[in-house]
Amino acid sequence: MIQGLSDFKWPRPIGTDPSTRDSSKRCAFHKDHGHTTEACWSLQYLVEKLIKAGHLKQYVSSDAEGKSLPNITTLKPPGPQPWDNHIPTSRSTWTLQPHRNALILSLEIGDFDVRRILVDPGSSADLVQASVVGHMGHSLIGLENPGRVLSGFNGSSTTFLGDIILPVQASPVTLKVQFSVVQELSPFNVILGRTWLHYMKVIPSTYHQMVSFLTDEGQIDLYGSQLAARQCYQIAREAGTSQEDASPPEPSHTHDQ
């Protein structure tokens, strides 16, 4: 359907080694394996571009104010423009206000669609739960730098199982990130802290439920899920935590000892 549109472009080939990707998942857009069509960030990026160009109006729903809202829960890349160093507010009608939600993203990590990713500017470390690493097929034996301690201002501490480097795809940008593996991170699968934020030069906003960063193609905005944030809060609450904004069980202000 969309192949005949003037703004349609086939994606570049997937850059990772085919032998390391999940052969059971196939993407019709890339015509290759490794992830599903539904989880393809490149396709979502293109669809948002086509929606913005007005090509898919018949598939776009409208809110109560009559403004068009794409039926997609992620990313909104405008065309090339100067980096204005502020968070745009054009998506304010998409966000339920008022709220106190944490910023929860879904990103492709290591060719897997990983959900419940907390964006935490207060964390000095990028963390991944051990069960997530195992699900990706990586062994927890022989990880580098095991035994380091993650500690916070309230005196609690967690021992790292080790470090692992995984590719994190945020829309068109893929960055190899060194994660510290922890045994338990519930209700989150991953926490992206200042290391990822600074390398990506990301501006995060919990209020607008989005992160923004600049690429050669212009400004990219990735949107969080308020539903996922509230689910994380509920999971944490049922587990006996008393925190009110879905912050991690381990303190977000961390340092290594």
Q: For 6-59, what is each residue's pLDDT tens digit? A: 667 787 787 777 887 888 888 888 888 888 887 776 777 677 777 766 666 655
Residue 43 or 76, more confident: 43
Where residue 155 falls (left for φ over 0; alpha for ψ -120 to 50; beta otherwise) is left
Residue 244 within any structural domain of the chain: yes
What is the distance, to the nearest Å, from the Cα of residue 198 to the centroid of all Cα atoms in its chain?
15
Residue 180 within any structural domain of the chain: yes
The answer to whether residue 100 scores a pLDDT higher than 90 is: no
The pTM for the full model equals 0.57
pLDDT tens digits for 164-179?
Answer: 999 999 988 999 999 9
* Residues 147 and 219 grouped into a single domain: yes
The SS3 assignment for 128 reads strand
Residue 222 within any structural domain of the chain: yes
Whether the Cβ atoms of residue 60 and residue 201 lie closer than 8 Å to each other? no
CA distance 248 to 117: 11
Whether the Cβ atoms of residue 124 and residue 194 lie closer than 8 Å to each other? yes
The pLDDT of residue 129 = 93
Residues of 169-189 as b/e, b for ≥16 C-beta within 10 angstroms?
A: bbbbebeebebbbbeebebbb
Percent of the chain with pLDDT strictly greater than 90: 25
* Residues 67 and 104 grouped into a single domain: no
* Residues 220 and 102 grouped into a single domain: yes
Q: What is the CATH number of the domain that holds 176?
A: 2.40.70.10
- Comparing CA positions, the residue from 223, 212, 166, 213 lying closest to residue 189 is 166
CA distance 68 to 151: 46
* Residues 134 and 32 grouped into a single domain: no
Q: Give the N- to C-terminal CA distance of the chain in Å, as an integer.
A: 56
CA distance 112 to 158: 26
For residue 70, is the peptide bond before it cis, meaning its omega torsion is within 30 degrees of 0? no
Token couple for 193 = 């802290």
Looking at the 3D structure of the chain, how many domains does it have? Answer: 2
* Residues 110 and 220 grouped into a single domain: yes
CA distance 72 to 85: 25
* Residues 64 and 167 grouped into a single domain: no
Look up the domain containing 57 and give its range: 1-72
User: Which residues lie below 8 Å from residue 129, measured CB to CB, with a gap of 6+?
Assistant: 181, 182, 183, 184, 185, 186, 188, 189, 190
* Residues 68 and 167 grouped into a single domain: no
pLDDT tens digits for 203-217?
Answer: 999 888 889 998 888
* Residues 51 and 126 grouped into a single domain: no
The answer to whether residue 153 scores a pLDDT higher than 70 is: no
* Strand 173-182 versus strand 162-170 pairing type: antiparallel
Q: Of 72, 104, 133, which marks where a domain is finished?
A: 72
* Strand 112-119 versus strand 104-109 pairing type: antiparallel
Residue 80 within any structural domain of the chain: no
Q: Is 67 exposed, middle or buried (0-12, 13-18, 19+ CB in 10 A)?
A: exposed
* Residues 160 and 249 grouped into a single domain: yes
